Amino acid sequence: MTSGRFVPLAAVATAVVSSTFLMLGPAGCDESQSVACADDCPTVEGTYPLTFTGDAGLPSECVNLNVQPLADGELLAIQRTEGGMLTGSLAGVMLTGQVYATGDLTLTGMPLPSSDGGVSTFFSITATHTGGPEDGGPGGSLSGNFTGQFSRIQGTSALRCNLARPFTATRQ
């Protein structure tokens, strides 16, 4: 005798397998995303002292973690490796990312974890490059957002804080 109990199980299994294959398909095909550049990348390489705008102070969660905000004048250094791939550094944190033909760029990175159980850090920068001489000299500028995510495991819970600050910068 068949009770029909296996039909719903088969339907669930089919749905799970199908959704897994959909997730394996190409991601990030957002038509609004900028096109990656190869040889026609904007000249974003250089050193940019950041000026943060609209400072609302540190969230209380960040104060609890003893997070220090980046100061105005902190240097963002950007180098281009091949094509639109970027490397850089900010406050001693090594960054990697991408520049697009439109001048948009992204950089992310985190320092190596400390062995003392300190604060884990993740930096993310999204910006748009405008103007400046084609040879990479002074005059190019960035405007965008810096995001810092900080956390520390304390006992059985985690303390977390997110810090988002808009900035502008002119290449030195």
50: containing domain? 46-171
Q: Would residue 71 count as lying in a domain?
A: yes
Confidence (pLDDT) at 19: 40
What 3-state class would DSSP assign to 68? coil
Confidence (pLDDT) at 83: 84
Q: Please tell me which residue, 107 or 2, carries the higher pLDDT value.
A: 107
Q: Please say if the pLDDT value at position 106 is more than 90.
A: yes
Is residue 157 within 8 Å of residue 133, measured between CB atoms?
no
Would you call 90 exposed, middle or buried from its count of C-beta atoms within 10 A (0-12, 13-18, 19+)? buried
pLDDT (tens digit per residue) in 12-60: 333 433 443 333 334 444 444 556 677 778 889 999 999 998 777 788 8
Structural domains of the chain, count = 1
Would you call 108 exposed, middle or buried from its count of C-beta atoms within 10 A (0-12, 13-18, 19+)? middle
Q: Would residue 31 count as lying in a domain?
A: no
pLDDT (tens digit per residue) in 135-161: 455 678 999 999 999 998 877 888 899
Question: For the domain that residue 127 is a member of, what is the CATH number?
Answer: 2.40.128.30
Alpha-helical segments (H) within 40-83? 60-64
Q: Would residue 10 count as lying in a domain?
A: no
